[in-house]
Amino acid sequence: MTIAFAFLFGSLIGSFLNVCIYRLPREESIVVPRSHCPICQTAIRPWDNIPILSFLILRGQCRACGHPISWRYPLVEGLTASLFAATVLKYGVTPLACTLLILVSALVVIAFIDLDHQIIPNLITLPGIPVGLMAGLALGEPPLLDRLVGALAGAGFLYLVLLYGGVAYGQDAMGEGDVNLIALVGAFLGWRAVVITIIVGCLTGSVIGLALIVLRRIQRRQHIPFGPFLSLGAIVALFWGERLVAWYSHFLR
């Protein structure tokens, strides 16, 4: 029942995250006006705004004008719900889990905004960093020092990549938003998670980037957003970081 409740609650949060993903890049309020169809501007009725279920009932169309509703909406709701359920399953109903749900929500918003607009809003990352550090001070796991080192070292490393990558390739290797994102991950998960996040992000980003080039979906020097890959790396670190560190330590021995 606890996991089911976490899933349902996560789907509701996912519905709100859809609002953030759409409105934040456009510098619109996430509070008013109420949710509406972007085509006909008709306000969405409460019974048409039930996460996931309403999309299926309406067959992916606006009730008022019949315009198709993007599959992105139920995807974000389902993804957020699954991540909430998985977090509670792993960490229980604890203060630590509550703080991690904040991080998970931020990662979902960041990934989809960066995917659409190639920007990572400072409105999410910069306030989130002190929240993560204060959680370390209050909860102690990971310790505050680990979180502080992760935020500073991770951001410092990506800043060097940003600086020298621009010199070497004549264009930015990544954006400043990526630097802030990795600092956010470090503030919540500690330095070990930052290492995993960067490795997973770089590997998946390279593989998908090369695949897109081979398939001629992008040009060789075309920029692809790195935020979704760092967010994926952070999720991997969140759920499997301890196992990966233990496996690697055993491998070295």
| 144 within 8 A of 154, measured Cβ to Cβ | no
pLDDT at 163: 77
| 126 within 8 A of 180, measured Cβ to Cβ | yes
Could you give the CA distance from residue 87 to residue 123 in angstroms, rounded to a whole number? 24
Which of 2-11, 153-162, 183-192, 240-249 is the least confident region? 240-249
Question: What is the reported pTM?
Answer: 0.91
Could you give the CA distance from residue 215 to residue 88 in angstroms, rounded to a whole number? 39
pLDDT in tens, 24-48: 999 888 988 888 887 888 888 888 8
Could you give the CA distance from residue 166 to residue 132 in angstroms, rounded to a whole number? 30
pLDDT at 39: 82
Q: Which residues contact 204 (CB under 8 A, 6 or more apart)?
A: 229, 232, 233
pLDDT in tens, 140-150: 888 999 999 99
Nearest 10 degrees: Cα torsion 237, 73, 105, 22: 120
| 111 within 8 A of 184, measured Cβ to Cβ | no
pLDDT at 171: 57
Q: How confident is the model at residue 13 (pLDDT cuts 50, 70, 90)?
A: very high
Assigned token pair, 48:
């048409």
- Sequence letter at residue 206: S
User: Positive or negative CA dihedral for 37, 39, 42, 48?
Assistant: negative
Could you give the CA distance from residue 179 to residue 171 in angstroms, rounded to a whole number? 16
pLDDT at 167: 52
Summary mean pLDDT of the chain: 90
